[in-house]
A and B are shown apart, each in its own frame.
Chain A
Amino acid sequence: MVSGEFSTTMILAILPEIGLVILAAILLTLDLLWRDERVQRLAWFTAAGLALIMAVSVLYSQPGDKPLLIWGGMLRLDMTGFVFRMMFLAAAALTSLFATQYESLSRRGEFYVLLLVSTLGMSLMASSADIIMLYLAIETTSIPLYVLAGFLIGDKRSVEAGIKYLLFGAMSSAVMLYGLSLLFGFTGTTSLYDLAASLVTSQVPQLLIYAVIALVLVGFGFKVSAVPFHFWAPDVYEGGPTPVAGFLSTASKAAGFAVLLRVMQVAFPDQTAFWTTVIAVLATLSMLVGNYLALAQKSVKRLLAYSSIAQAGYMLIGVAAGTPFGTTGAIYYLMAYLVTNLAAFAIVTIVEGKVGSDELPAFAGLSRRAPGLALAMLVAMLSLGGIPPLAGFFGKLLVFAAAVEANLIWLVLVGIFNAVVGLYYYLTVLKVIYLNRAEDESPIRGISVSWRLALIVSIIGIVVLGFWFAPWYQWAQGATGAIWLY
């Protein structure tokens, strides 16, 4: 169904990407024009631009009922790509607003540009239908993120984070690329949607296909920070600027899931039993390792880092189910997780800025110093813990349900066990916030309007996703359906 001719649809289909490029270009210019007074403006401008792109995309580049392969089969215009793009755009917009509380980021235009470029890459990841395109998109995403992680060149930890991320990223990319090249070698095609059929006809030994799957999974596992490809995550989150950590742990992870879901299901339908098992194992490891290491953390940022590994584990349950329902669950979970984790990292940003530490004791007395912030953290933590009426609850419910449907009871039990452990440390954070007293209990002031707005949006998102399921579920369902649709 590759439409060879050039048409307006092709342009419309990549409207978001075009928008991102334009916005990035404008920002580079503005960065030169606005010198000192731009602290807030750049952020507002980025966010507004992203919002505009979202609006335009919703209006003009919504995919039809039939997915289209465009640009020579490089991209696929479908619901899957669309839903993920919206998620990336939203995450980027929120991150840019949250960054206003982080001076060393928000003063510099490059930050926003890098953010946008990375978003562009994710956007392409979500809609690529060709393994070459896919690889390019992944690299487009990753390289700006390497820079962002090491953005604070004066801060050793940040630089270390950047380098670490780069090394791990490069290595896993290489492994994945190896896998992809093998794939091309076996089948002679780079088109994702032709791979499955070609694998059948080319009569490649199953064992080799399994090896390819394993190699590819290394790359994806790195992106979604699943155990055992997670080692970079805690250090990078901790060392990098907090808003970047938030972005990394959400949008970047979501992008990883986008390709994971698409590639596995589209390219290896005949090996489902194998890769679901592998992913189930990855899920188990991620949950266990993430949660148990999170238990031991004193730094909230590090705690969130490990928690995000565990969260990836829950989402992998949905993937491991290998069913449409599981995919829907994983996508819903991603949406929920996106808003939640962004809010959580945002609050850490504030506390870090105002108290000067991200250790647990720094959060003491928060409910007296800033009841609103405390409440927001409450919402975020509980959503991560999977408590209604918050987004995380429904996400967990869906992935567990999918696993039950797929008869993966053992995996659900592991999930449950981990959910309890997770709840333990999320509640511990809340306990510190609500119970413990701080020496200085003066109200926290000086929080920027942009930051507040972003937080309110995230919190509303968490709550709305938590009880008004229908539209978002429909989206997730649409995204699921479109992966399979030819």
Chain B
Amino acid sequence: MQFPFLSIIIFTPLAAGLILLLVPAERKNLVRYISLAASIIVLGLSVGLYASYDINAGGYQFVERIPWLPALGITYAAGVDGISMPMVLMAALVIFSGVLVSWNVDDRPREFYSFLMFLGASVMGVFCSLDLFMLFFFFELAVFPKYLMIVVWGYPRTREYGGMKLTLYLFIGSVLALVGALAVYFASGLGTFDLLLLEKADFSTGFQQLWFPFIFLGFAILGGIFPFHSWAPDGHVAAPTAISMLLAGVEMKVGAFAALRVAITLLPEGAHFWAPAILALATINVVYGAFIALIQTDFKYVIGFSSVSHMGLVLIGFATLSREGLIGAGMQMFSHGVMTALFFAIVGMVYDRAHTRDIGKLGGLVRKMPWAAVGFIVGGLVSMGMPGFSGFVAEFPVFMGAWKSAPLVAVIAVVGILITAGYIFLVVRRVFFGDVPQELAAVGDVTVRDKIVIGLLAAIMILIGWFPSLMVRMVESGVDNILALLGGA
């Protein structure tokens, strides 16, 4: 048993969250620094693990196993492969950024940061799970921080509705998936929740076709699949900045990731059977999401719907069941996570200073907050799949995968890119360029902490854009395993 790096990544936020609850409520700075320290530890460890992951060896690494409930074959099993490792890194980045941009939260920061940390532990736990039970355990752990943070610290006008809608949608999805997972557990006859063992269980074709939609759809709801996506924009908009970042950046990936890890790898024949349906829905995601984003007047809703659109590409990548598609989906999960976190961070910065998110009332902010403008533009370019940014590196293989399995999807989905370019440029122009309205004359610049976030996230997207091998090779090693399960498709 080697040093439990992954457990530290999972439990540092959890411990921090508990410790925070013991800190006196009025020591707000102490609270902030504890959270920052925890997020730095997590980020540092994630970067370290990312760097030391052996791509040539592939497979699951840094594996830890502790019997949890042997009677039911439940194990605490943590490990990462080429697909989850980038997810862990991305989550660590977003958590760190989330801590920094929330520095100004002044209403009960202790609870705020504590819940934020719980949410962080939850996502890390899911990404590292090698055990189906453990995956659900951490998956559902996110329910209450999500809900309470949206409701308590969210956008007053919609937070109650948005928070409840989001929580219930995701809960119903996860419980549906849970039922599917239980069916898998019993049908395997292995008496274990270990994903690696279940992968090898030979489920009958009929079983796979019956249960695949439960699990896939259950998780994909969190991934924002059409027509169950409507929680996403409402929830994202209602949430406070850091939670929007985590929700759209990480949580949606948790859904997609779990759909891949559980539904597709355990039930490959089911995946083959249902792939056309998923492709169809995901294509609607891409085009419809982009189109709705185009007609929004609320800055944050634009980004909220853009997430729906982009997650469609991830799902398309999955459903192609091809090498390129899966690689692209893996890259897109990372890229979109970082990008959308940056987007929401900037939306938050703008809103905090301008006190409005109405695109019509904003303008000329490049003069007031140049960093935010540049960051948003970088995010926008990633979002429209501009070459030289991580979005392109991710979307290109997705489309190649689509060509291989359903060319029509590629042709239709590409329209989404054009619409994306349209709304990004429109928003950039209206919010950041043009003249500064009278009411915004006194708006100040972003803080140094904000600049760190913007700089860090933007730099990563550009870096991946120019040097895709930094990440693609790792994702590829993870995809190979899935392809083997899919029967080399």
A and B touch in the complex (CB under 8 A): yes
B152 cross-chain contacts in A, Cβ below 8 A: 434-435
| Number of chain B residues whose Cβ lies closer than 8 Å to a Cβ of chain A | 39
B172 cross-chain contacts in A, Cβ below 8 A: 416-417, 420
Q: Mark A369-409, 1 if CB is under 8 A from B, else 0.
A: 00100010010001001111100010001001100110001
**Roughly how many angstroms separate A397 CA and B148 CA in the complex, as a whole number?**
23
Is A420's CB under 8 angstroms from B171's CB? yes
User: With A401-B185, A434-B148, A473-B71 in contact, do A420 and B175 touch (Cβ < 8 Å)?
Assistant: yes
Asked if B176 lies at the interface with its beta carbon under 8 angstroms from chain A, I say yes
Asked if A474 lies at the interface with its beta carbon under 8 angstroms from chain B, I say yes
State how many angstroms separate the Cβ of A288 from the closest Cβ of chain B. 16
Is A470's CB under 8 angstroms from B71's CB? yes
**Roughly how many angstroms separate A368 CA and B137 CA in the complex, as a whole number?**
30
Asked if B74 lies at the interface with its beta carbon under 8 angstroms from chain A, I say yes
Asked if B164 lies at the interface with its beta carbon under 8 angstroms from chain A, I say yes
User: With A389-B137, A470-B71, A474-B71 in contact, do A430 and B144 touch (Cβ < 8 Å)?
Assistant: yes
B182 cross-chain contacts in A, Cβ below 8 A: 397, 400-401, 404-405
User: With A397-B178, A409-B179 in contact, do A388 and B141 touch (Cβ < 8 Å)?
Assistant: yes
Contact residues of B: prevailing secondary structure: helix
B69 cross-chain contacts in A, Cβ below 8 A: 469-470, 473
Task: Identify 7 new A-B residue pairs, CB closer than 8 A, beyond the known A393-B140, A400-B182.
Answer: A378-B148, A397-B182, A416-B179, A420-B168, A427-B147, A435-B159, A474-B71
Residue of A nearest to B180 (CB): A404
Beta-carbon contacts under 8 Å, B119-146 to A: 133, 136-138, 140-141, 143-144
List the interface of chain A (C-beta within 8 A of B).
Answer: 367-368, 371, 375, 378, 382, 385-389, 393, 397, 400-401, 404-405, 409, 412-413, 416-417, 419-420, 423-424, 427-428, 430-431, 434-435, 467, 469-470, 473-474, 477
26 CB contacts below 8 A, A to B, read A371-B110, A378-B148, A382-B143, A386-B140, A388-B140, A389-B141, A393-B140, A400-B178, A400-B179, A401-B182, A404-B179, A416-B176, A416-B179, A417-B172, A420-B168, A423-B167, A427-B147, A427-B164, A427-B167, A430-B144, A431-B164, A434-B111, A467-B137, A470-B69, A473-B69, A477-B71
Q: Mark B57-94, 1 if CB is under 8 A from A, else 0.
A: 00000000000111110100000000000000000000
Residue of A375, A405, A420 ringed by the most chain B CB atoms within 10 A: A420
**Roughly how many angstroms separate A39 CA and B186 CA in the complex, as a whole number?**
53
**Roughly how many angstroms separate A416 CA and B69 CA in the complex, as a whole number?**
24
A477 cross-chain contacts in B, Cβ below 8 A: 71
Asked if B183 lies at the interface with its beta carbon under 8 angstroms from chain A, I say yes
**Roughly how many angstroms separate A393 CA and B139 CA in the complex, as a whole number?**
12
**Which residue from B151, B171, B176 sits with its C-beta under 8 Å from A423?**
B171
State how many angstroms separate the Cβ of A283 from the closest Cβ of chain B. 16
Residue of A nearest to B210 (CB): A409
Beta-carbon contacts under 8 Å, B395-449 to A: none
State how many angstroms separate the Cβ of B204 from the closest Cβ of chain A. 15
Which A-B residue pairs are the 10 nearest by beta carbons? Answer: A404-B182, A469-B69, A416-B175, A401-B182, A388-B137, A420-B172, A434-B152, A387-B143, A405-B186, A388-B140
Is B74's CB under 8 angstroms from A469's CB? yes
B200 cross-chain contacts in A, Cβ below 8 A: none
B141 cross-chain contacts in A, Cβ below 8 A: 387-389
**Roughly how many angstroms separate A24 CA and B133 CA in the complex, as a whole number?**
45
Asked if B459 lies at the interface with its beta carbon under 8 angstroms from chain A, I say no
A382 cross-chain contacts in B, Cβ below 8 A: 143-144
Asked if B108 lies at the interface with its beta carbon under 8 angstroms from chain A, I say yes
**Roughly how many angstroms separate A473 CA and B133 CA in the complex, as a whole number?**
15
B175 cross-chain contacts in A, Cβ below 8 A: 416, 419-420
